[in-house]
Amino acid sequence: MTYSPQRPGARRKAAWLGSLAALSMILPAATAGAAFGATAIPGADPTATPGSFSEQNLAADRTENNWFYRIPALAHLGDGVVLASWDARPGSSADAPNPNTIVQRRSTDNGETWGPLTTIAAGHIADAGGPKYGYSDPSYVVDAESGKVFAFFVYSKDQGFHGSAFGNDDADRQVISAAVVESADGGLTWSEPRLITDVVKPGADRSPEAGDVRSMFATSGEGIQLTRGEYKGRLIQQYAGDVQQADGSRTIQSYSVYSDDHGATWQRGEFVGSSMDENKVVELSDGRVMLNSRDSSNGGYRKVAISTDGGHSYSEPRQDKNLPDPTNNAHITQLHPGAAAGSADAEKLLYTGANSQTGRQNVSARVSCDDGATWPGLRTIRHGFSAYSSSTALADGKIGVLYEGNYTDSMPFASFDEEWINYVCAPQAAEDFNADPGTTHQLPVTITNQEATAISGSLKLTADKRFSANTVEIGELAPGESRTVELDVKVPATANGSYLLQTVFTAADGTEAQGNVRATVAGQEVTGLEITGTRTDTDRDLAANPYAAGEKVPYSFKVTSASNIAQWVVPTEGNFAPFAAKPVGEASPAGNCRYGNLAAETSYNCTTPRHTVTDEELLDGFFTPLTTWTSGRIGVYHDVVDSYEIVGDEVDLLARAPKLEAASGAPELQDLDADGHASVGDTVTHVVTLQNTGNVRLTAIAGDHAVAGELAAGASVQATVTHTVTAEDLAAGELAERTLVFTAANGATALEAAATLGGIELVQVPGEDATGTPAKAVLSHDNGQDTGLSDGDYRVTMDLTWGTNATSFTLYENDVAISTQQLAANTPEAQQAFVAVTGKPNGTYRYRGELANAAGTTETATLVVKVRDANPAAPAISLEGTKFADSYTVHTNLWQGTNATGYTLYENGIAIDTQDLASATPAAQKAETPFTDKAPGTYRYVAELSNAAGSTRSKTLVVTVK
C-alpha cells in the first residue's frame, strides 16, 4: 500500500484499503454515525443440510407489459393450495399512485409447481378511455370456516400514501382509498373490488379532527383468523395510517380492521403507537394477539404490542431487541397452526425479515419458543439484498416464504421444513454494555433451556471480523434451567459507535440458538473502503469469442465500507464509462458509481461500468482496471477525507497463452589479440534466439545479457552472449556447457525460457617459460600525492621487477575484479600495469593483483588505500548586507580542499536554490544566493556542497529581517 505525500492520501492496489484516521473522539453512537451491524449467523448456503430447502423465482416473466414486481403476499388455503400475489408496476417500481396491478400465481401441490400469472385487480394507465387508477400492496386473509379468501389492497387515483388528502370520499381523486376482493373458489376467481375507505380512513372532509386519517394502506402479506377463545373466527387485517392527533400533530399509527361475520362487514380497532408502519399480527397460544411492526423512525428494531380483546386495542408498543430491522416489511405467523392451545407447539412462532439494521438484506427465518418473548432460532434464507417477505405454514410440515429478491423481476418462493431452521429452544440474555476500544469486557450471558429434555453445548460470539470472544462449554442444562456464564469479549482498537453483537449456543446435536447484545464504544473515527471488481460476462467463451477493439467489457465494482462512520463515495476517474461522477448533489452522467450514504461496514455494487477495448490492450490480451475514488463525511460533500487509486486485477480479453522459447547457436572463439590461439581476454560468443511462440505480447524481457524489451506474438530477436576467457578457463582447457535463463512477462504472468550454451575447447600455445608461474609483483598507489588529499581519485600501479612474466593482470578491489589487462611477456624483464580509480567515497579499500600465464597464476600482497577526503570540504557561509535589511546575499565559500559539483541552499529547512559547480580540487570554490524584499522574520540558512562521494553542510547562518 502506497500513500501520496499529500492529504488526502492515494492508496494503490491492495486487498484491503482503509485508513485509521484518529481525527476526533466520537462519544455517543448517534453522533458517531456508526451503522448498526448485521447479525446473521454465517451459513452461506441455504441448501446445505440439515433439513430440506428449495427455491424458485415466481416473477421471472415480466410479460410484454414490462412490469416491475414488488410487494409479496402469500397464503395457504389448505390441502396444498397456495396463493402468491404481488404488485405488477408499469414503467417503474414506484409506489401508488403509479397505476399498479395486483397479479397472482396459484399452486395446488404445496408450492412445488405454479400456475400461470393471473390478475386479481387491474390498474389502468390514463388514456382516452379514462384517467389512471391502480391497486397496490396486496394482503390475503383466509377464512377457514367459510372457505373464503379475501385480498386487501390500496386503490389509488391521483395520490399515493404521501400525497393523499384527508377525507374518505372514494370519488375524490386526491384521496387514497381502501379496497377488498373475495374468492369463494380458492383464488381461481375474484369479486370486483369493494371499497371500505369509510371504515379504515375516518374523517369525512378536508378539515381534520383528532382521530381522522389523512392516508393509510393495508399492510401487505397476510392477515389472520383467530382460532381460540372469545373471538374465535374473527378475521383481522392490519393497517397503517397517518393519524391526526389531539395536539394538531400527525403520526403513523397501526390498527386492526376486523370482521366477525365472515367478511360481510368490517370494523376498525383503536389506533396504537407512534412512528409505526407496516405491521402484522399473530395469535398466541392463549388467544392473545401480538402485533409486530416496522418502525418508521428507523429505530433499528421491530415494535411489538399485545391485544387481549381480539385486536380491537393493543398495549403500548415496545421495541423487541431480539428482532433487528432496517425499516422493512416483515412477517410473523404460527409455526404450527392448529396446535392445541397452551401446548409447546402453539407457543412456537415464525418470523421472517431482513436480518440487518443497515439495509434490506439477509432475509432470515427466526423461531420463538415462548410466544415471541425470545427468538433463539435463526437461519438465513438469502444472503445479500432481499427485502419484503410474507410467510406461511404449508401442508406436510413445510414452510413457505415469498420475498423480494430485487425490485424488478425476482420474487423467490422458498420452501423448507422445520429441521432446516436447525434451532434449539435455548434463548440467551445479556445486558447491553459500554466499553473502550482495545479492551476486554467480561460479559455475563444467561442461557435458558426451554426444551423438554436436557441439553449441553458451547457458547460464543458469532464469527465477526471486529469483536471476538472465547468459547465457553455449557454442561448439562435440565429442562427449564437457566445458567449464567461469562464471555471475554475483545473490543477492537478501531471500534467506535454502536454494535449489535450476537451470541450463539451450539448444542451437542449441532442445533443452534442465538441472542443479541449491543456494545457501545467511545472510540476514534475510522474511515476506509475496500474496492474490488470483476468482469460480469463470465459466461463468454474467450477462446471462441475474443473481444475486438472498440467492444465494451461489462464490469462490476463492489465497494465495502471499512469504516465506523457513514461515508459518501464518489469515483472521479477511471478507464470505464459510465463510471465517474461529480460530488454528491451535483448532476452527473447516468450510470455512475457514486453512492451518497454508505453506512459503516456495509457495501454496494455498481454494475453499470463498461471498458472500451483498445488495439494496444488486444496485443497484451488484457486490460488493467485503473480507477480513482474519493470518500468523505455525510453532509460535507466537497471535503475529501480519503482518496484511493485502485489498480485492479487484469481482465482477459482473449484466451491468453503466453509463451517464450530460447535456443542457442554454436559457440565461436573471438581471437582478439590475433595470436592464433586462446588466451586470457579473448571472448567466446553464442548467438541466442528468443521467440514469442504465444498469442500475446511479451514485455520486460531480460537475461544475463541485454535483449529487446518486448516481443509481439510470433516475433523473435537475437542476442549475442559474450564470455571473456579467464586464466581459469585456460587452465581447464575448455569453456564448459552452461544454461542461460531468460525471463519475460505478460502483465502479471511471469515466464522463463532456458537456452543451453554449448561448450568449446580452448586451444592455446604456451608462452615463454610456460612451466613457471609469474613472478611476485608489488602494488602501490598515489592517493594523496597528486593533490595532497585522500579524495578518492588515484592510480593503482603493479610492478613486476624481475622474473617470469605474465600474459594478463587482473586487479581486485575488495575481492571484486575491477580491471583485466593483457600483458606482453618478455621474461625475465620487468612488467608494469596501471589502473585508474575514481569517485570513491570515504572508506577503506583493499586491492590485490593476480598475474596469470599458461602455467598458472600468482597473487600480489594486499594493498590498503584509505579515502578520507572524498566528500567536499566544509563550506563557510556568510551574509553580505545591512543588518535587519530585507535585501541581502548569502555567500558560500570552500577555501581549499576536495571540491563539490553541486550547491544547495536551505532556508528554514527547505531547499530554495541549487547550482552546479565546476570541480578543480583542491582549488577554492564559491557560490552566492541573493534575496530581495524578504518579509519580516527570522531565517536560518544552511549551505550544502555535494559530489559523487557525498555531501557536507555548513554551520547555520541566522538572518533577522525587520
- The residues that are catalytic are 95, 278, 388
Q: How far apart are CA 315 and CA 305, in angstroms?
A: 5
Beta bridge partners of 879: 890
- Show Cβ contacts of residue 107 under 8 Å, excluding neighbours closer than 6 positions: 80, 81, 82, 83, 84, 113, 114, 115
Cell 466537497 appears where? 638
DSSP letters spanning 144-207: TTTTEEEEEEEEESS--TTTPPS---TT-TTS-EEEEEEESSTTSS-PPPEE-HHHHS--SSSS
- Exposed e or buried b per residue across 577-611, where buried means at least 16 C-beta atoms within 10 angstroms of its C-beta: ebbbbebbeeebeeebbbbeebbbbbbbebebbeb
Q: How far are the Cα atoms of 215, 237, 255, 333, 337 from residue 307, in angstroms, in the given order? A: 24, 14, 11, 16, 19
Q: How far apart are CA 1 and CA 488, in angstroms?
A: 33
The DSSP secondary-structure symbol of 828 reads T
Cell digits of residue 248: 394538531
Q: How far apart are CA 159 and CA 242, in angstroms?
A: 14
DSSP letters spanning 733-795: TEE--EEEEEEEEETTEEEEEEEEEPPEE------TTTTSPPPP-EEEE-TTTSSSS--S-EE
For 616, the 3-state DSSP assignment is helix
Q: How far apart are CA 742 and CA 358, in angstroms?
A: 54
Cell digits of residue 738: 552452461
- Show Cβ contacts of residue 345 under 8 Å, excluding neighbours closer than 6 positions: 335, 336, 339
CA atoms within 13 A on the CB side of 595: 24
Q: How far apart are CA 585 and CA 588, in angstroms?
A: 9
Q: How far apart are CA 80 and CA 61, in angstroms?
A: 24
Q: How far apart are CA 282 and CA 348, in angstroms?
A: 11
Identity of residue 620:
D
Taken in order 289, 290, 294, 299, the sign of the CA dihedral is positive
Q: What angle do CA 51, 57, 62 make, to 5 degrees?
A: 175
Beta bridge partners of 521: 435, 497
Q: How far apart are CA 574 and CA 579, in angstroms?
A: 7
Q: How far are the Cα atoms of 70, 246, 252, 295, 814 from residue 274, in angstroms, in the given order? A: 26, 13, 6, 9, 87
Beta bridge partners of 350: 333, 367
